[in-house]
Amino acid sequence: MTTLQNPPTATETPALAITDLHMSYVVRGKPREVLRGVTFEVRPGEAFGLVGESGCGKSTTAYAALRYLPRNGLITGGKIEASGRELTAMSGSELREFRAHDASMVYQDPVQAVNPVLQIGRQVAESFTVLGHSSGEARDLARKALERVHIADPVGVMERYPHQLSGGMLQRVVIAMALASDPSLLVLDEPTTGLDATVEAEVLDLVRELRDEIGAAILLIAHNLGVIRTMCDRVGVMYAGRMVEEGTVDEVFDGPSHPYTVGLLNSIPRHGLRKTDRELFSIPGNLPQIGDSLPTCVYVDRCPVVTELCRSEVPPIVDRSDWHWTRCHHPDRIGEIPEPEEIAADHLVGEEEVIGVHGVSKTFHQRSGDVPALVAVDLGFAEGETLGLVGESGSGKSTLAKTMLGVYEPDEGGAITLRGRPMATKATQRIEESIRSIQMVFQNPDSALNRSWTVRRILTRAVSKLTGVTGPEADSRAVEVARAMQLSERHMDMRPRQLSGGLKQRVAIARAFAGDPDVVVSDEPTSALDVSVQAAILNLLAELQRDVRTSYLFISHDIGVVRYLSDRIAVMYVGRLMELAPTDAMFDGPNHPYTEALLSAVPSVDGEAENRIPLTGEIPSPKDPPPGCVFHTRCHRFIEGTCDVLEPPVVEVRPGHTIRCHIPPDELAAAQAEDLGDLRDVLRAERQA
């Protein structure tokens, strides 16, 4: 969005105006400050985004906008005004009236936002009866509301219960309910965070489309910078309960003027950056805890261009343009922030296969029938290689990982080999050497680390179990491993809850590396982390790989991250590999139509034009895969009579790049280039107009 769609005028009453808001949470009996003077406005028809890392207070701000605070939340100062009305002064019934008619909220998890025991139709209709419609009218309006959010069979859906709908569908239902009152303020709190990239793209498209229709002011909270960039007019960057920079999305993302914004933007892999190019920028230190007393400038402890002035004086608001300001003493020294170093050492990938997956299938036997979750998967890892694995949830990525690790036993016929020799299929039957050689890093360190154990115990146990070393020797080895993860001695006697998310994930990685493994399987290791911490973890993984030449199976839904770290990328769909290619080849194309759709679904931080290929419908259940090509039900290049009948062949595009598709590679290449050409024409036309 290059221009403000709705240039605000000074006379217009803002739909939401928050002025110098201070808020605390009472935790274990003490009030702890979480918002420390937040000021911003959202004007009618405008979309305002709030970004920042977890704990910066962005969700608290969102809830405060409706004065919808948890029991222990306490507003200690400031004003919240919606369309000129003061929320903090409202009585209970006024507030209820306000929430019913003037404001709506869409929550992060749609599953928790709906009542699981009521039919969808009743719940949607309820949001109309609240407004005074009769129940007959309400049902009618509910159907129209569902149509409006593009639910294909609204009458059918109204009869169903929440558990019968997918996450994306439910989020649409929640949006339909939020729009029922035709609100003047719509708050969206991480509306797509729990959804797959393809579904996220669909929901975002919907919100974008409805935006123009409803004319409501939108407050969008997201940690994903790409989502903010593609959805919002203006953006505010929050840090430790304060707003540090605000401006139009283009100004802030293209010309960031606060060191924190610069740090955030540089910590995500952009413009096709690879691990062989340079390290990612990571912000040193941690976000101040809520309730900590803050220095003059909130960012002073982590800022690369800090001066004495920053420590002695609160930075003023420095205007960068009409709409763009930053709270920094030195916005002109932003250019001095050093870029991360180029990587000098070579990244060597060996020739020999370390671990091989040969024709592995996995069928779950359930009462209702067999579920083939993996179908004849072939993969191999060379020493020091990263294989990225992408696909929507339900595509079988984690099943593959767990089968390799011996948590699940694969079907007869396939084999998992370690340096050419087959391994026992179950972890409990594997010899020590096989267990040691393949280890896993989990998505969520909170779940992966035993919270009642100290770091020392977690690591020494892994060392002694995996290498057979015990006693003081195991301890010193544990310390050594921890040090390689940039954990210090002092962390050793802490328990996981005392560590930040990034440190916890380091401990989890250290545990995986305790036995010097050959392959480390990482299942979304950074998706629970903030971007700046994610950068540090990715740097660590890349560095470890350079040093000890471990191979990685890297599962992620974040295409940018996979591209940064992987040497080859595999795309999975309904338990089958659809495409396997070296990273560069994958991004050069031609691609399998599914890959094409996946790649197009990523909201870009760079503001590049989007040419999204919609993936209609949902991923089919592996229990009942479609005949022929499993992807034909959602494919935009579907050939009738072929794709729905015949299993597609695996075609080699170039050495090492295979596609499972009926369309020959050169035809795919031509079609994909043509689509790109169409897009360019559209863009050119737009520019002229």
- Residue 106 sits at the vertex; the CA angle it makes with 104 and 109, to the nearest 5 degrees, is 155
CB 282 within 8 A of CB 535: yes
Q: Which is nearer to other proteins, 42 or 503 (CB)?
A: 503
Coil/strand/helix, residue 576: strand
State which of residues 318, 484, 651, 671 lies at the interface with other proteins (CB under 8 A): 484
Q: Which residues pair with 569 in a beta bridge?
A: 388, 581
Cα separations in angstroms, 62 against 23, 184, 211, 627, 653: 12, 15, 18, 46, 49
Give the shortest CB-508-to-other proteins separation in angstroms: 8
* Subset of residues 387 to 406 that bind other proteins, contact rule: CB under 8 A: 405-406
What's the closest the beta carbon of residue 623 comes to other proteins, in angstroms?
A: 22
Complex with other proteins: residue 284 or 316, whichever CB lies closer: 284
Decide if residue 548 touches other proteins (CB under 8 A).
yes
Residues 272-301 that bind other proteins (CB under 8 A): 279, 281-286, 288-289, 292, 301
Residue 34 host element (H or E): strand 30-42
CB of 307 to other proteins, least distance (A): 18
Name 417's Cβ contacts closer than 8 Å, sequence gap at least 6.
353, 355, 356, 358, 423
| Choice from 362, 491, 637, 662 touching other proteins (CB under 8 A) | 491
Q: How far is the CB of 452 from other proteins (least distance, A)?
A: 4
Alpha carbons 398 and 689: distance in angstroms, whole number = 48
End-to-end CA distance of the chain: 15
Q: Which is nearer to other proteins, 270 or 465 (CB)?
A: 465
Interaction of residue 499 with other proteins, rule CB under 8 A: yes
Q: How far is the CB of 551 from other proteins (least distance, A)?
A: 16
Torsion angles phi and psi, residue 336, rounded to 5: -85, -10
β-strand pairing of 657-660 with 650-654: antiparallel
Closest to other proteins by CB, 258 or 491? 491
For residue 572, state whether it binds other proteins (rule: CB under 8 A). Answer: no
Least distance from C-beta 556 to other proteins, angstroms?
Answer: 17
Report helix angle 455-467 to 501-513, nearest 10.
20
Given the complex with other proteins, which of 151 and 485 has the nearer CB atom? 485
**Closer to other proteins by Cβ: residue 548 or 669:** 548
Q: Which contacts (CB < 8 Å, 24+ apart) does range 375-379 have?
A: 375/574, 375/575, 375/576, 376/414, 376/576, 377/414, 377/575, 377/576, 377/577, 378/577, 379/570, 379/577, 379/580
Instruction: Kindly identify the residues of this chain, within the stretch 312-371, that bind other proteins according to CB under 8 A.
Output: 340-341
> What are the φ and ψ backbone dihedral angles of 62, each rounded to 5 degrees?
-60, -45
Among 478, 531, 535, 599, binds other proteins (CB under 8 A): 535
> Which part of the chain contacts other proteins (CB under 8 A), choosing from 165-173, 223-231, 408-416, 481-489?
481-489
**Least distance in angstroms from the C-beta of 443 to other proteins:** 8
Segment contacting other proteins by CB under 8 A, of 210-218, 490-498, 617-625, 664-672: 490-498
Distance in Å, CB of 581 to other proteins, minimum: 30
- The smaller minimum CB distance to other proteins, of residues 205 and 543, is found at 543
Whole-number minimum distance, CB 485 to other proteins, in Å? 9
Q: Give the x-and-dash track for 117-136 against other proteins (CB under 8 A).
A: --------------------
507 binds other proteins (CB under 8 A): no
Beta bridge partners of 525: none
Whether 13 contacts 82, CB under 8 Å: no
Q: Are 391 and 397 in contact (CB under 8 A)?
A: yes
Instruction: Number of residues interacting with other proteins: please give it, by CB under 8 A.
Output: 72
Residue 110 preceded by cis peptide, ω within 30: no
Residues 10-29 interacting with other proteins (rule: CB under 8 A): 27-29
Helical segments of 20-130, H only: 58-64, 92-101, 110-113, 120-129
Among residue numbers 406 through 425, which ones bind other proteins (CB under 8 A)? Answer: 406-407
> Scanning residues 66 to 85, which ones bind other proteins (CB under 8 A)?
none
Element housing 504 (H / E): helix 501-513
**Cβ nearer to other proteins, comparing 93 with 452:** 452
Quote the least distance from Cβ 124 to other proteins, whole Å.
33
Give dist(CA 66, CA 107) in Å, integer.
13
Comparing CA positions, the residue from 127, 80, 76, 89 lying closest to residue 105 is: 127
Question: Among 356, 350, 342, 378, which Cα is nearest to 545's?
Answer: 350
DSSP string of 114-166?
Answer: S-TTS-HHHHHHHHHHTTT--HHHHHHHHHHHHHHTT-S-HHHHHHS-GGGS-
Q: Three-state DSSP class for 175?
A: helix
Least distance in angstroms from the C-beta of 287 to other proteins: 9
Q: What part of residues 29-58 is at the interface with other proteins (CB under 8 A)?
A: 29-30
- Minimal distance, residue 340 CB to other proteins, in Å: 6
Report in angstroms how near the CB of residue 580 gets to other proteins at its nearest: 26
Give residues 221-280 in contact with other proteins (rule: CB under 8 A): 279
Q: Which of 158, 178, 249, 536 binds other proteins (CB under 8 A)?
A: 536
CA dist 482 and 510 (Å) reads 6
Kindly tell me which residue out of 82, 503, 553, 643 binds other proteins, with binding defined by CB under 8 A.
503
For 275-288, the DSSP string reads TTTBPPP---S-PP
**In contact, 543 and 459? CB cutoff 8 Å:** no
Nearer to other proteins, 120 or 458 (CB): 458
Nearer to other proteins, 508 or 615 (CB): 508
Contacts of 565 (CB under 8 A, 6+ apart): 275, 386, 388, 538, 541, 542, 552, 554
Q: Between residues 137 and 543, which has the closer beta carbon with respect to other proteins?
A: 543
Which residue's CB is nearer to other proteins, number 552 or number 594?
A: 552
Q: Which of 223, 327, 506, 592 binds other proteins (CB under 8 A)?
A: 506
Identify residues 439-478 at the interface with other proteins (CB under 8 A).
Answer: 439-440, 442-444, 447-453, 462, 465-466
CA 609 to chain centre: 20
Of residues 140 and 301, the one with the C-beta less far from other proteins:
301
Provide, rounded to whole angstroms, the least separation between the CB of residue 465 and other proteins. Answer: 5
Least spacing, CB of residue 530 vs other proteins, in Å: 10
